[in-house]
Amino acid sequence: MKRLRAYVVVSIGFLYLLLTLSCKKPSNANDENEHEAINKVTLTFSRPGVPSLVFIAEDPDGDGGQPPSRIDTLRLAAAQGYSTEIRFINIVNGVERDITPTVIAQGRSHEVFYITTGVQVGIVKTDRDLSGFPIGVNSTWQTGPAAVGSVLIKLMHKTGIKGPSDSPDLGHSDLQLPMPIRLN
């Protein structure tokens, strides 16, 4: 009887240990739940012979909570071409950390979308992930005629589902940022 009791205790202990270890989720650099908050975005527009234009959106407490403390209007020349770069920044206790390199390194799981309303802007993503699919951190923008509107910037997370020409609604959103735009 003592042997049976010892066997049951050892078996239960072994099962407990097995279940505990098998349920532990390993840390993974591509894990969508390990992202840092994006509470500042910068967009830099460049064209030859003209100083670069930098526009900022900042929301110190991140998504939800208080409204953003700063959202610049994208003021671009009409009928012009721009090389554009977006940067994603995490600010904690006044310290800025650029997490754009992480987005690029995890390019197979991320894509930036730019959805315009009220203005004509042709946007082409010029950077690619290791599968050859667009990322959107770097792009070219060809502006249309003078107009006022908005651009919705979406950083979508698409682990295991990213394709070459996805919808901006595929995956889940790491960031949705509407910014006003004025073409002069």
Q: What is the pLDDT of residues 120-172, one digit of tens each?
A: 999 999 999 999 999 999 999 999 999 999 999 999 999 999 999 999 999 99
Residue 4: pLDDT band by 50, 70, 90 thresholds?
very low
Q: Kindly report, residue by residue over 34-48, the tens digit of the pLDDT.
A: 457 899 999 999 999
The residues spanned by each domain of the chain are 36-183
pLDDT at 13 over 60: no
CA dist 49 and 124 (Å) reads 21
65 backbone φψ class: left, alpha, beta (φ>0; ψ -120 to 50) = left
Whether this model's pTM surpasses 0.85: no
Which tokens go with 128?
């690619």
Residue 18's Cβ-side half-sphere holds a number of Cα atoms within 13 Å equal to: 6
Residue 2: is its pLDDT beyond 60? Answer: no
Q: Would you call 1 helix, strand, or coil by DSSP?
A: coil
